[in-house]
Amino acid sequence: MGVPASFIVVVLLLATPCIAAPGKFQDYFKADRINDHIRVQDGGTGVQLVLDQKSASGFESKDKFLFGKISMQLKLVPGDSAGTVTAYYAASENYVNRDEIDLEFLGNTTGNPYIVQTNIYTNGVGNREQRHYLWFDPTADYHSYSFLWNQKQIVFYVDSTPIRVFPNAQDIGVPFPTKQPMGVYSSLWNADDWATQGGRVKTNWGHAPFVASYRNFDLDACAISSGSCTNSAKWWDASAYAALSPSEISKLKWVEKNYLVYDYCKDPSRFSTKPAECARAP
């Protein structure tokens, strides 16, 4: 008598290991300065950054990467986070001609919304800020924040929702990061001169220490230490990732309509001529 096929399927499913399990903190990162402001928890499954009047804190990747998808889950500083900025970004080593992909979480007073600011530097030029509110309370639970970076585009995601696309517009003269490997960094610091309500609300140190929490680190990207990152095709080079899918485009439009608070593409007071890449909106 044979074993029912359904039984075999169940056993196979149970035996399948967790696919692409996110790594531990120490697999990818190290503290960037004072270790006593970083709390590595549960053997590296989670990490907390601590900000107080003595020090900011941060971490940085051990390796540098050229293309891929960088992802981690964050639970932002709860309660009164006004004046604080939690940043998470990738940046090349060369500062003057730097390439950089930025996600910055601008804190707020209790009950008022965080802003997610994104920016992109290519060949040393930034000034490409967008600002969004979120459709959930980012201090209540972990959410994933990620960016996909390939030859065709950079896409910022919040959970599985794309909030911004920066297309490769080299053909119309806009530099795109294709050559410089980037490290991945995160930090929590005091930026009360500009972060909250235009800098009007200052950090209330009576509410320190401020704590941001991280988990599910996933740097699915080409590490420079592994050899060449331009010769062999990786999953992110597949045509499916060259542009957003129709369903992603509708999510992006939903975000744009409901949560976009600032867009450098729509700011003639800063740019009398629209930056060229703005014409490439998906």
Ligand X SMILES: *[C@@H]1O[C@H](CO)[C@@H](O)[C@H](O)[C@H]1NC(C)=O
Residue 100 known to be catalytic: yes
Nearer to ligand X, 107 or 177 (CB): 107
User: Using the rule CB under 6 A, is 85 a contact of ligand X?
Assistant: no
User: Using the rule CB under 6 A, is 148 a contact of ligand X?
Assistant: no
Residue 174 C-beta: closest distance to ligand X, Å: 28
Residue 131 C-beta: closest distance to ligand X, Å: 8
Burial (CB < 10 A; 0-12, 13-18, 19+), residue 275, is middle
User: Using the rule CB under 6 A, is 203 a contact of ligand X?
Assistant: no
Residue 69 C-beta: closest distance to ligand X, Å: 27
Nearer to ligand X, 31 or 51 (CB): 51
User: Using the rule CB under 6 A, is 139 a contact of ligand X?
Assistant: no
User: Using the rule CB under 6 A, is 209 a contact of ligand X?
Assistant: no
User: Using the rule CB under 6 A, is 197 a contact of ligand X?
Assistant: yes
Binding string to ligand X for residues 108 to 127, with x set by CB under 6 A, is what? Answer: x---xx-x------------
Query: In this chain, which of 50, 51, 90, 106 binds ligand X, going by CB under 6 A?
Result: 106
Structure tokens at 235: 């999953």
The residues carrying an active-site annotation are: 100, 104
Site residues, ligand X (CB under 6 A) = 106, 108, 112-113, 115, 196-197
